[in-house]
Chains A and B, each alone.
Chain A
């Protein structure tokens, strides 16, 4: 069965900074796991990249290229699932990711507690690492 995992913006940024998330995305991708996020998360991360570039004194285009190389697909959730997600989660910024997770029946990889008790499986980076070492 094809395994898909929805990834939150904080995980995408952690991966760019070559933290644990980077190694997990790299190794799980090699095992055939698909990482999916939303166009809204993509835009959010893109808006934040100039701040990372400024902190590190790197060209923003350089960071953007690294970001585009991450093996993550960005999709648009359907209106039906966006409506469903809106009544479940508190933060409007989290609605698209919850919607896509509900629509594609996949867990959400995030370190954000707002996704708890939303009816979907939530995986933290620590749990992803455990999953990796178990395999």
Chain B
């Protein structure tokens, strides 16, 4: 994984992204963002994979809450869909 400042990320984004490595973006000493290449997810270290997964599933969970949908309802729908 590469660590860069926001300024470096902004100036070298194209070449950094081409490097196909996860990039941790920092402001002063604080981590503010993580860029993850998606073309070889299986080669990513487990922890990075889990951090990204956590953020994406947070969005899924939030949308479920907003729409009043439960996990049970979706799983029930999946079972019905399978039988079609």
Contacts and interface: CB of A to CB of B under 8 A. Distances in A.
Given A68-B41, A71-B49, A18 B57 contact: yes
Contact of B59 (A30, A62, A68): A62
A29 B81 CA distance: 30
A58 B52 CA distance: 17
Interface residues of B, number: 27
B81 A51 contact: yes
B71 interface: yes
B82 to A, nearest CB: 7
A63 B78 contact: no
A22 B56 CA distance: 12
Interface stretch (B5-13, B16-24, B61-69): B61-69
Contacts of A69: 41, 49-50, 52-53, 56
A63 B69 contact: no
Interface in A1-49: 9-10, 13-14, 16-19, 22, 26, 29-30, 44, 48
Contacts, number: 76
Interface of B: 38, 41-42, 46, 49-50, 52-54, 56-61, 63-64, 67, 69, 71, 74-75, 77-79, 81-82
Given A10-B79, A17-B60, 16 more contacts: A13-B75, A16-B57, A18-B58, A26-B53, A48-B81, A51-B77, A55-B74, A58-B60, A62-B56, A62-B59, A65-B38, A68-B38, A69-B53, A69-B56, A71-B49, A71-B50
23 contacts: A10-B75, A10-B78, A10-B79, A13-B74, A14-B71, A17-B57, A17-B75, A18-B57, A18-B58, A26-B53, A30-B50, A48-B78, A51-B77, A55-B74, A56-B60, A56-B67, A56-B69, A57-B63, A62-B56, A66-B56, A66-B60, A68-B41, A69-B49
Closest 5 CB pairs of A and B: A66-B56, A56-B63, A69-B53, A18-B57, A19-B71
